[in-house]
Homo-oligomer: A and B are copies of this chain.
């Protein structure tokens, strides 16, 4: 049975010497061939299901130290963020313990506050998992590429993000940040499909081509953002994603490891089982 090990997934972690240009989006490190990816993908569902239920159970039982998980997804158009949410989160987890939030352009009210302000209400409570579809990294990616904020403000944000994530981690949140990394050629195929297939028109926006023309500027912005904000408590993973299923397998592996690292037990009974069985028998 093909499996992706946690150690193999950790190889995708962004360290100080990380070079985005060296990552081949079409590779599948740790797994070779379609059938290996398929097997590894399906291998993790039962464990994920159980670990997430245990986390949720602890939250429901009022365990303030249950911990929580934040999954940040940040990638180019058509990189597969939606598919991760659907196939990794939706299919294996209890929706009642999951909060998915997509972040678009800031509203006027949001833009009037510090850039981190709008994310606070969507951070996970103990026992919960939050998934950000785009995130606070927009503020150092698109905003840098399109010069929507002054350079010194962009500069300030890297540190502010690290501080924000450090505090979050200190409060018991496991943070996983994933850049599903696709090639420019693969994006062209995906965009072509969205333009040609009427069932996918709603996913296409002519602005996607404008962003595509800025590909190398975006890659430079990702390179800087990921190296400056990948920390022990909130690491970035740059995941080759021309094979979408490979990327989803990596995310499952990282999510499972994050959940297991919380080392949760099932909540203790706040009742006497013998007595309750007797009450049940008499009821």
Contacts and interface: CB of A to CB of B under 8 A. Distances in A.
Interface string A204-226: 11100100110000000000000
Interface in A11-58: 57-58
Contact of A95 (B85, B192, B198, B205): B85
Nearest to A196: B273
Majority DSSP secondary structure for residues of A touching B? helix
A209 B279 contact: yes
Interface residues of A, number: 45
A247 to B, nearest CB: 18
Interface stretch (A2-10, A230-238, A264-272): A264-272
A199 interface: yes
Contact of A91 (B91, B199, B268): B91
A123 interface: no
Contacts of A85: 94-96
A122 interface: no
A71 interface: no
Given A198-B266, A266-B198, A204 B100 contact: no
A269 B268 CA distance: 55
Nearest to A56: B202
Interface in A225-283: 266-269, 271, 273, 276-277, 279-280, 283
Interface in A51-107: 57-58, 60-61, 82, 85-86, 89-91, 93-96, 98, 100, 102
A162 interface: no
B266 A202 contact: yes
A142 interface: no
Contacts of A171: none
A141 interface: no
B86 A199 contact: no
Contact of A94 (B57, B86, B195, B276): B86
A280 B191 contact: yes
A141 to B, nearest CB: 19
A201 interface: yes
A141 B224 CA distance: 58
Contacts of A148: none
18 contacts: A82-B94, A85-B95, A86-B94, A86-B95, A89-B95, A90-B90, A90-B95, A95-B95, A95-B100, A96-B133, A195-B271, A195-B277, A196-B273, A199-B266, A201-B273, A202-B266, A212-B280, A212-B283
Given A85-B94, A96-B133, A201-B271, 5 more contacts: A57-B203, A192-B280, A195-B271, A206-B276, A212-B280
